[in-house]
Amino acid sequence: MKILRSLYEVKTYRATLKASVGFVPTMGALHAGHRSLLQRARSENEICLLSIFVNPTQFNNPEDLLRYPRHEVQDLELAAQQKVDAVFLPTVEEMYPPNDTFRIEESQLSHLLCGAFRPGHFSGVLTVVMKLFQLVRPTRAYFGEKDFQQLHLIRGMVESFFLPVKVVACPTVREADGLAMSSRNLRLTSEEREHAPLLFKTLRGEPDLQLARQKLEQEGFYVDYLTEQWGRRFVAAHLGSVRLIDNVEVL
């Protein structure tokens, strides 16, 4: 497994590849959800490439950026177990040099749902994904449906800018109790972790949106939004200091 830490290294490595490239961009703290993306990429492409980069431009809260879990050694072990061919671990300085003033903006969808509560978040996401796509030039890129709004925006960006990459959506991977897997779950206290599955249970089990919101608030969640769109039900809610998101199909 090759470890690529600079733009020069990833560009040089990519130039040697003549095969299909499956790409999984992440912010690290890898879990079983990421493992499923890597397995899909591994099975559908000749080369599997993973990136790990905690992207500062998508954090509207500086404290959230500082608290984001970073587990490079464990992440590389998981990548090796999944037979990843190369891992790209760029620095902030290379991805965002001092003279870099360009950003990708979307004018409608990015201001809904999470975008309404996290100003600038999706501009940061789209900008870093565009940069990574330009460096890696993947055949296919894999994203989880847990971040459905992000997935929808990235698909739109690929279509708008005629990017030669297929965006592949992968089902949300859940814990045995239904909680959607997320790197942020590591920041839940033991008590909060026991409480967190109520988010999915209520999202899926209560047909009335107003009652569902009331139930969550009574259970100690601070709800940013609970709504239905694109044939799905979406929720974002804080439990303690951790913001959780989830979505399910409306049946």
Would you please indicate which residues are annotated as catalytic (active-site) residues?
Answer: 34
- Alpha-carbon distance of 119 to 21, in angstroms, equals 33
Alpha helix positions (H), 45-174: 62-67, 72-81, 92-95, 114-117, 121-136, 148-160
Describe the strand order of the beta sheet including 232-239 as a list of residue ranges.
222-229, 232-239, 242-249
Helix 121-136 to helix 7-15 angle, to the nearest 10 degrees? 50
Residue 176 has a CB neighbour count (10 Å cut-off) of 6
- Helices and strands counted in the chain (H then E): 11, 9
CB 25 within 8 A of CB 62: no
Handedness of CA 45, 129, 62, 90 (dihedral sign): positive
DSSP 46: S
